[in-house]
Amino acid sequence: MSEGLEGVIAARTVLSDVDGARGRLVIRGYAVEDLAGRTRYEEAAHLLFDGFFDEAPSDLAAVLGEARARVFAEVGALDDGLARRDPVEAMRALLARLPDGDDLGTALLLIAAPAVFTPAVLRVAAGNTPIAPDPALSHAADILRMTRGAPATDAEAAALDAYLVTVCDHGLNASTFAARVVASTRAGLTSSVLAGLSALKGPLHGGAPGPVIDMLDAIGTPRNARPWLERALARGDRLMGFGHRIYRVRDPRADALKAAVRTLASATGAAPGRLAFAEAVEQAALEILREHKPDRPLDTNVEFYTALLLEALGLPPASFTCVFAMGRVAGWLAHAREQLAGGRLIRPQSVYVGPEVRVAA
């Protein structure tokens, strides 16, 4: 038995390859750092979907725009009580209203759902009216426009595209595995995505970037980094944005996202102070983690620079996990289809360690 299924191979996939020793992520034959910054999210979704849906058009942008417009009808179910919940819970509740299915139409609605529902949840929670999608815009530009109520610049849309592409797929991570388990029962794509979203929510997976901002804000100054981080480890806390089950070196997505933060800052003329501060905290954390756990290589993971990038885009930390879902949903869907196409029911076994058999009273 392997605790946490560490080292267990549970699927064959053509979708992505995570090489934890070399710090390399390949998505359908492309290194992640080559895709991020050069590819729109629609193109990355098409790359993942290719061969899994008979009727997938070569350009997903137009059909995805229409799917955003269609899914907006569900926003009517968003009342004030739901909007006050954690944004992931509110977005998940709206997504759960979509019917199950296995076709491209269902998949497009499911890609559109986090992108449309999250801005609506944030706006209603802030006392504003949800903004309807503009199907003519790119997915990333429309997400930013629906969130802020004002158009995004090309540089901002490109930065969000870089993020969504960077996180679109990542081997058999916990949420993708959950999505594949549900797909293996033939429950349908909406059920698979709900399983993925629920697994993503936890701080050990997709819930980490919001707490990264909390950590940076609590540290406040570079000089305070070391004492603050040492106190956190002494309390038994985990440092958010560091460590990974598979990577024993730096997560390649961290550098892809750091590059996107730099590009965005130079396009907007933003002061480099926040990035320099984050780099100082990162260096202190890496040093302290090496001292704290000399036998376990703990390096920067995707979530550290995710937090910086999404913050620079003006997105609230409470929404970061929802934004992660906006990207990863294409991966969940492609994996679900791949599982359906070739996989058997996923049904592992457990070792019983409970009481001996006894006679019921």
Q: Which residues bind ligand CMC (CB under 6 A)?
A: 4, 170, 173, 204-205, 208, 238-245, 293, 296, 298, 301-303
Residue matched to tokens 């991020």: 36
Cβ-based nearer residue to ligand CMC, 75 or 309:
309
Distance of closest approach, residue 85 Cβ to ligand CMC, in angstroms: 22
SS3 300: strand
Determine the Cα–Cα distance for residues 193 and 178; give it in Å rounded to an integer. Answer: 9
Q: Is the CB of residue 123 less than 8 Å from the CB of residue 131?
A: yes
Cβ-based nearer residue to ligand CMC, 170 or 258:
170
> Per the structure block, which two tokens stand in for 261?
């933060």
Cβ-based nearer residue to ligand CMC, 186 or 290:
290
Residue matched to tokens 């960077």: 166
Q: Which residues pair with 17 in a beta bridge?
A: 26
Distance of closest approach, residue 151 Cβ to ligand CMC, in angstroms: 31
Among residues 244, 311, 335, 338, which one is catalytic? 244
Cβ-based nearer residue to ligand CMC, 159 or 289:
289
Nearest to 168 by CA among 140, 146, 203: 140
Helices (H) then strands (E): counts for the chain:
16, 3
Cβ-based nearer residue to ligand CMC, 9 or 126:
9
Distance of closest approach, residue 354 Cβ to ligand CMC, in angstroms: 25
Write the burial class of residue 85 (CB in 10 Å: 0-12 exposed, 13-18 middle, 19+ buried): middle
Write the burial class of residue 228 (CB in 10 Å: 0-12 exposed, 13-18 middle, 19+ buried): middle
Cβ-based nearer residue to ligand CMC, 116 or 315:
315
> Per the structure block, which two tokens stand in for 238?
């985990």
> Per the structure block, which two tokens stand in for 101?
């299915």
**198-203 long-range Cβ contacts below 8 angstroms, 24+ apart:** 198/92, 199/174, 199/175, 200/88, 200/174, 200/175, 200/321, 200/324, 200/325, 200/328, 201/88, 201/92, 201/321, 202/174, 203/240
Distance of closest approach, residue 46 Cβ to ligand CMC, in angstroms: 23
Q: Is the CB of residue 35 less than 8 Å from the CB of residue 44?
A: yes
Among residues 303, 311, 335, 338, which one is catalytic? 303
Residue with nearest beta carbon to ligand CMC: 243
Distance of closest approach, residue 1 Cβ to ligand CMC, in angstroms: 15
Please confirm, yes or no, whether 303 is among the known catalytic residues.
yes
Residue matched to tokens 């997915």: 139
Please confirm, yes or no, whether 244 is among the known catalytic residues.
yes
Distance of closest approach, residue 71 Cβ to ligand CMC, in angstroms: 26
Q: Which residues are catalytic?
A: 244, 303
